[in-house]
Structure 1
C-alpha cells in the first residue's frame, strides 16, 4: 500500500519546502495531491517530485509557469522511456527473423532519416 503524507509532514520532510511554496506548486498544478476528507495527501512520488521542483526553482530560479513546462517535458520523457521499454520487451518475444527485419529497418531509418 502506498503511504501518503499530509501537508505538514511534507513540509517537515523536505528542507527547502514551506507551506506557501507547497501551495504554489499545487496551484500551478505541477504536483497533484490526493484529496481526502482530512485534506491533501501526498505520495512518495509526490515527495520526489516536490524535491525536484524545489531544486529546479532554487538552482535555476524558475517561475511556476517555467517549472510547469519543465515538469511536463520530464513527464513526457518518462512516458516515452516507459513506452520504449515496453516496445523492447515486445520485440524481444518475437522470432529471430522478425527481430532481424526490425533491426535492419531501424538501421535504415537511422541512416536515411526516414522510414
Structure 2
C-alpha cells in the first residue's frame, strides 16, 4: 500500500510517519512510485500508536519497546532456522540433542 493509504488506515499525519521512519520503527520498501508499506508495517504502526497514545510512552520508551520487538523477531527466526537444521539431522543426532536439552532443563530446575 502507498504512503497515503497507510496514513489514512492508521489516521496519522505525514509528520508522525516521518518521525517513525527516521527513528527506524518503520522501514518501508522504496520504489520508483514512492514508499510501499506491508501489512506488517500496519501492525507495527498500530503498536506504536498503542504504546504512545494508550500507554503514554514517550519517544525513547517507544524506541526501547520497538527494539525489543525486533530482537524478539530476530531470535524467533534464529530458533526456527535452528529447529529446521535439527530436523534435517539423522534421528540419533536428534535424540542426542533432545537428551541434552532435557539434561540442561533438569539442571536449571535444581
Same fold (TM over 0.5): yes
- Residue 93 (structure 1) shift: 2.2
Higher RCO (C-alpha 8 Å, min separation 6):
1
Give distance in 2, aligned partners of 1:5 and 1:26.
14
Equivalent residue of 2:51, what SS? helix
Query: Which consecutive unaligned segments of at least 5 residues does structure 1 have?
Result: none
- 8 Å CA contact retained: 1:28, 1:65: no
Query: Which consecutive unaligned segments of at least 5 residues does structure 2 have?
Result: none
Q: Over aligned residues, Cα RMSD in angstroms?
A: 1.9
After TM superposition, the structure 1 stretch with the greater mean CA deviation from structure 2, 20-29 or 64-73, is 20-29
Partner residue of 2:100?
105
Partner residue of 1:58?
53
Aligned length: 108
Q: Larger % of helix: which?
A: 2
- Residue 80 (structure 1) shift: 1.0
| CA pair 93-20 structure 1, distance change in 2 beyond 3 A | same
TM-score, normalisation: structure 1: 0.78
Equivalent residue of 1:31, what SS? coil
TM-score, normalisation: structure 2: 0.81
Give distance in 1, aligned partners of 2:34 and 2:53.
27
